[in-house]
Structure formats: structure tokens, C-alpha cells
Amino acid sequence: MAGLIPEKVIEKVRSNVNIVDVISQYVSLEKKGKDYIGLCPFHQEKTPSFTVNEDKQFFKCFGCGKGGNVFKFLMYKDNLTFPESVKQVAEFAHIKLSGNFTKPKVSNTMTLMFQDATEFYHHVLLTTNAGRRGLRYARERKMSDEILEHFQIGYAPKQDNLLLTFLRGRNYKDDDLFRSGLFVESKDGRLFDRFRDRLMFPLGNESGYVIGFSGRRISNDKTVAKYINSPETKLFNKSKVLFNFSEAKKAAKQEGHLVLYEGYMDVISAYKAGVKSGIASMGTSLTDQQIYMLKRVTKNIIINYDGDEPGVHAEERATKMFQKAGGFNIGVVVLPDGLDPDEYVKKYGTEKYQDEVKGAFTTTDFFLKRLAKKYNLNNDREKIVYLDEAVKVIAKLTNPVEQDLYIDKIAKAQGVSKASLKANLIKQQRRERTANRHKGSNYDNSLPTPELQDLTPPTPTDAPEDEKGDRDPVQTRLLYLFIHSTHAKNYLLKKKFLFPDKDYAKLAELWLKFSESHENPEINSFLDFIPEELQGIIVSAEMADMPDDFTENEIDEQISALHMRKINSKLDELKNQLNDARRKTDTEEIIKITQKILNLKRIQGKKEAF
Ligand SMILES: [Zn+2]
């Protein structure tokens, strides 16, 4: 499996990183006991079952079953080969790999092609005559060199098929070019550049590899679309892409939150204003998958859409989606005078903008303010309706201190007594409890929903992938002892014990080979040298937190449990045969099988007595 990279090097890379640090780039981990837990990046879940064990340097998801060491994590996450993963971990640990085993960062044709296309567009924009139009436009939009560099912005020239010629020159095959979505095919099967005369924004996946583009029209020709996105491909799934996500994740560690914007230009303006944790969905409304991606990184999300009515309305919708998902701490920024972030920064400057982000409303504040706008509060009749509705919003809160805070605020603002609002609140809460009881499990999540509360049942997950280790605790325990204790190993060998399951038997055999050829055989290195399909058993055993001490008596008991299991399954088989024989009234066969059954029962009885 390790391929061309010397084992010594792999070992060096591994021992220089902490798996917790590597995985933290993708998943927000929380320390629970001796483990770290977080939301699984490989399947969607509501409560964290993704576990990282720092001592053992292993991860395992108890929901979907994926597990392994630090190399395996990146292989799953970024679809890398083993050497690619070692290379990436080495980069993370600032270890220079020398020698010819260092393959390019990515061997995936499509990823390489997008990297080349990104560089091409970027190069055209900054250094060519053909790119001048684009550069002029970028300058008009106040994009500095630093911005163009940071976001790798480029320009797709007006002339036809420059990208096509460039990529063919790099020996990409037409099939791959077509699959990339960067080209359109004419009726007679010829390829043409899809993007022309557009400012190009590369769209990256979670790890920052470019997987698609969004091209902004720079001409005034309103007959063509303002934005064109790459079509959906195997790599590029719009509902799972967030502009600037891989960079924003890093910034979120310092800034303490992610800021969600409506478009790329907002993310870029915010970046100029020093807010580097900005992201944007792809010109469509937010999807559940995107919300899940965010949840894995941080629970603190600030939403900052345009300050005009459609923008605020969209903010309301997004806020409700986050509430429905549960577990978020949402802040909402509403910029004055209907400004979008770009306009705001131009008008009021960067510092003021940062203050707006810091002073984001809580969702309750936001909803109460929205509500107040719907009524004429100078009219007593409308004011009463408003106060009733406001109490409904507050009644959804689960924290009594929070409730008190908003009751107080509203009482003061509207000149009514706090006591009367409180009385209404209690009535409303009683009403809701009754309603929920009647609705039972079909609790209606129509909004505003209770804040930070998770009422929906967990989504059923796919069956664990490699649950063998979890399913067969006896063999797992014996294998664990076989690997971790020379005493146990020798004892089992002396007893000529064979693992009944072929996967376990194979692992025992591989461990013998591995430990004979290594001075300090380590379980983590062992994992890289065994076939993929056997790794799950090892990871499960390691993550099961088994005691290292044992007695020979324990081993005997485990072995005898395996024997019993074998006898039982043999008995079941014989009973089936017996039924068949009876149906056919085959007397000779009936006697033969009964004899066998009795023999087995005798052995079983002895064992049980023992
Ligand atoms: Zn999982």
C-alpha cells in the first residue's frame, strides 16, 4: 500500500503531526473524556459520533463506520491515494519530502485540469493584452492585486477557444475536457470555451481544490446572463459548494465565527474590510448540505445579506433554516439604508463595518424588529396584536434568562408593564405545551422555531461500513491481545489457535510478518501495510478502549466461547438437514444426522459443565 515512499519517511511524517490538528481543519472537535468528538465529515448526522483518539492517533465514526489513521482521513476526505495523502500531511507538518516518490499534489486529472485552468485565467488577466478588458473592470471594482491573488480571480478572454488550445497543449484528452464542464459541445461534436469575456471566480471544494468556476459578465450586454456557473459535474455539486469556504475555515478559528453573504463580491468586500471568514452560497438559497458543512466547522454564524427588503427577507429565511437544523448560535446583521456590504464599506469604511458584524442582532432581536415593522405601533389596536405576536416569539426561547431579557426590552420600548407581558408569556407557553402534546411526534417546525433546540428525530444513517470489529467482540478481543501482548501471542500460538473468521486469521498472519520485520512494530504503521478491507477491524479494536491486561484464563474463556459458537451454528445447520430428511422420510439420513446432533450436544454439555 505504501508504494514508493520509504517506511522511515512515512513514520517521520506521522510522528510529526497530531491527528487532532489535521482533522480540526475540517471538523470542529470537542474534548469529551480522553477522546475528541465532532460531526462526521463523511455522513450527515445530528449528534456527533465522529471520534478522534489522540493517544492512539486514530479516528472512527460510530455512525457510518469510517475510521483509520491520519493518512486514511485525507484519503477519504479528498479522495487521495496513499502517497498523495502522505505528501499532504507532510506539507501540514512542514516536512520536505525529497526523492522521486513525491508525486504531484494531486493526480486526479480533473483536479489538475482545474488547477491549470485557474492559472491560465489568472495569468491572462494579469499579464496579457487579451486580459486588459478584464483588468480594467477589476480595477473599477476596486480589486487590488492582493485581492486578485488571494481569490485567484482570472479573466476568460473574448477570443474563442484560447482555454481549449491551452489545455490541449497540456495533453488533456477531449473526453476529459468535455467532462470538466469548461466547454460546450456543438452539434457536430466540436468543443468551444464555455466562458468568454467574463471575470472568473474559481470555486473550491472544502480542501481548496478548484472544482468549478463562476464567470461574471463584464460587458453591458444585458442579453447575456450576469453570472454563469460551471454545470454540475461529478466533482462540482452546487449545493455542496460555498465560495471561499476552505480559506474562511482557517479565519474562523481567529474570528470565532463564519459570516454568510449573498454573493462573492460581498465576500471580497468583507475581506478588504478585514473580515476574512466570509462565505457565500452559489447564487441560490442555502441548502441543508451547506448548513451541515458549516455546522462541522463552527456553531457561530453571522448572516449578512443586503440591507434592502429582499435581502432582509432572505436573511429571515436563512435564519429559520439554521434554527431548524438546530445547534447554531446565529447573529444577524442588517445594514442601514438598504446597503449591501460592498456599498456599506465604501460609504462608512472598514472599521464601522467590523463594528456592524460584531454588533450582530440575536435571532430573537432580529425577529422582534421584523415584527415591529409590520405594525403601526401608534395605534393601540395594532400595538396589542404586536405585543401578542412578540410574546409568541419569546415563548419559543428555552432559556428563562433570555426570555426575561426580551420581555424587559419590549416592556420598556412599548411602555407597558413587565408583569402583564409575563402573564401573557406564561399563558402562551401553556398553550404551546398543550398543542405540542396533541401533535405528538409530528411537531410542526413552522417558524419561528424554538431556538437551539433539536426536536426532530435523528436522521437514519447508512449501516456502518465495517462493523465487523463491533460485531465480533470475541475475535476482536483475541486479536487485540495477539497484537499488543507477546505473552498472549505466544500463548495463542502454543495452543495452535486459529481465528475462525478468515479476515481475523489473515490479520494475525500479517501481524506476525510485520512484527518480525520491524524492530518496534507499531499498530499505526501496521495499518498502512494491510489491505484496505481489513483496516476497519483494527481501527474498531483500537477505538474500543480495551484493557491491556489479561489472564490466560480470559483467553481460554474467549476461545471456548468461539468453540461454542461454532457448535451452535453447526447444530442449527444439522437441524435444518434433519427437517429436510424428515420431509423426505429418509430414515437412514435421519438416524445419521441425529447421531451427529447428539455428539455435538454432548460436547456442548461438557463445555457448559466446565
Ligand atoms: Zn460518519
Give the residue from 142, 222, 231 showing the smallest Cα distance to 180: 231
Per DSSP, 194 falls in state S
Helix (H, G, I), strand (E, B) or coil at 211: strand
- Whether 173 has a pLDDT exceeding 90, the answer reads yes
Cα 606 versus chain centre, distance: 53
Answer yes or no: pTM beyond 0.75: no
Cα(62) to centroid(ligand 1), Å: 7
Cα(179) to centroid(ligand 1), Å: 29
Q: What is the pLDDT at residue 461?
A: 42
Cα(540) to centroid(ligand 1), Å: 14
**Dihedrals phi, psi of 506, to nearest 5 degrees:** -65, -45
Q: What is the pLDDT at residue 454?
A: 37
Residue 57 Cα distances to 36, 38, 286, 538, angstroms:
11, 15, 35, 13
Judged by average pLDDT, the poorest of 106-115, 369-378, 584-593 is: 106-115
- Whether 406 has a pLDDT exceeding 90, the answer reads yes
- Whether 84 has a pLDDT exceeding 90, the answer reads no
Could you tell me if 51 and 61 are in contact, meaning their C-beta atoms sit under 8 angstroms apart?
A: yes
Q: Is 298 left (phi over 0), alpha (psi -120 to 50) or beta?
A: beta
Cα(465) to centroid(ligand 1), Å: 9
Cα(91) to centroid(ligand 1), Å: 26
Q: CA-to-CA distance for 418 and 420, rounded, in angstroms?
A: 6
Tens-place pLDDT, residues 34-63: 899 999 999 999 899 999 999 999 999 999
| Residue 290 pLDDT class (50, 70, 90 cuts) | very high
**Dihedrals phi, psi of 374, to nearest 5 degrees:** -75, -15
Cα(365) to centroid(ligand 1), Å: 36
Cα(270) to centroid(ligand 1), Å: 34
Q: What is the pLDDT at residue 405?
A: 93
Q: What is the pLDDT at residue 106?
A: 54
Query: Which helix (H) or strand (E) element contains residue 210?
Result: strand 210-217
Give the residue from 360, 252, 240, 261 showing the smallest Cα distance to 299: 252
Cα(1) to centroid(ligand 1), Å: 24
pLDDT, the chain, mean: 87
Cα(174) to centroid(ligand 1), Å: 37
Tens-place pLDDT, residues 430-472: 888 888 777 654 444 444 443 333 333 334 444 444 455 566 8
Arithmetic mean of pLDDT, 327-343: 91
Residue 471 Cα distances to 262, 379, 468, 484, 541, angstroms:
47, 68, 5, 21, 11
**The C-alpha cell that represents 503 in the structure block:** 479476515
- Whether 99 has a pLDDT exceeding 70, the answer reads no
Judged by average pLDDT, the poorest of 204-208, 470-474, 578-582, 600-604 is: 470-474
Cα(462) to centroid(ligand 1), Å: 9
Q: What is the pLDDT at residue 439?
A: 64
Tens-place pLDDT, residues 115-136: 999 999 999 999 999 999 999 9
Question: For cell 504503521, what's the residue?
Answer: 525
**Rounded CA Rg of the chain:** 31
Q: Which amino acid is it at 153?
A: I
Q: CA-to-CA distance for 481 and 500, rounded, in angstroms?
A: 16
Cα(178) to centroid(ligand 1), Å: 33
Percentage with pLDDT > 90 across the chain: 54
- Whether 558 has a pLDDT exceeding 60, the answer reads yes
Cα(61) to centroid(ligand 1), Å: 5
Strand partners, 51: 37, 60
- Whether 385 has a pLDDT exceeding 80, the answer reads yes
Tens-place pLDDT, residues 251-289: 998 889 999 999 888 999 999 999 999 999 876 778 989
Judged by average pLDDT, the poorest of 2-11, 289-298, 331-340, 586-595 is: 2-11
Cα(42) to centroid(ligand 1), Å: 5
Tens-place pLDDT, residues 219-232: 988 888 999 999 99
Q: What is the pLDDT at residue 546?
A: 87
Q: Which amino acid is it at 18?
A: N
Q: Which amino acid is it at 547?
A: P
Work out the angle at residue 449's Cα, subtended by the Cα atoms of residues 446 and 450, and round it to the nearest 5 degrees.
150
Cα(41) to centroid(ligand 1), Å: 7
